[in-house]
Amino acid sequence: MKRNFLMKLEYCGADFEGWQIQAKGRTVQGILSDCLSKFTREKISLIGAGRTDSGAHALGQYANFITGKPLKPSEMKYKLNKMIPHDIVVHSCREVPLGFNSRKDAVYRSYRYLISEKLSALNVNFSWIIERRIDISILNDMAARIKESVHFDNFCKVKSRKSSNDCIILDAGWSRYAGFLRFNISANRFLHNMVRLLVGSMAAVERGKMRIEKFYEILENKTDEKTKYIAPACGLYLVDVKYEGINL
């Protein structure tokens, strides 16, 4: 009998070419799919809730797969954690309805971006190091406008644009915590590179490389100009994904 398992994953993206399987390169989806296929002795198709970029991380990535292997979710979690490399961890696993799809059934996703205001050898792969005190009030002024926006055509990788690039932003804001400047944003969907382009553009305004009026023009689609400022992938984290009636 076929069963559908949903996993909550954490991974360090420093040594991965992103989530999605590629022709060449080490990917999170590729490694997990290979391990699951060896373990179940079936061809496993792993569906992720979101595609993280090369070098980006996840605190709460979700992925599901269908198998005929007669195991409890706790056994699946234990066995898989014994097989996968140290930079991926399965935090939890549960059975879900066969029709469940971790990407299509997501209600909203949350991302975080970290900036370090001081030089750090340890945090170089886990944050964007800017090395100076940043004016958080300017950043939060822009974040407030992001929360009111819907059209993000100008904050999307051009080749991945869809017929509609509208996103409903549930929350967006900057804070200081544990030595980092943090940007938290939640939305019903995200476009390719959207968070990194937003952060890079806000940082460009704060540094005086872009006028704040220009940022608002680009954000509100009052111009065809696309933003050219993108933050490094190393500071980006997929924090959580929410589903209707399903918790892990």
Q: Which residues are catalytic?
A: 53
**How many CB atoms neighbour CB 103 within 10 A?**
15
| Bridge partner residues of 65 (DSSP) | 5
What are φ and ψ of residue 243, in 5° steps? -125, 155
Question: Distance from first CA to last CA of the chain, Å, rounded?
Answer: 23
Instruction: For the chain, give the longest Cα–Cα distance.
Output: 60
Who contacts 141 (Cβ-Cβ below 8 Å, separation ≥6)?
212
Torsion sign (Cα): 28, 58, 234, 142:
positive
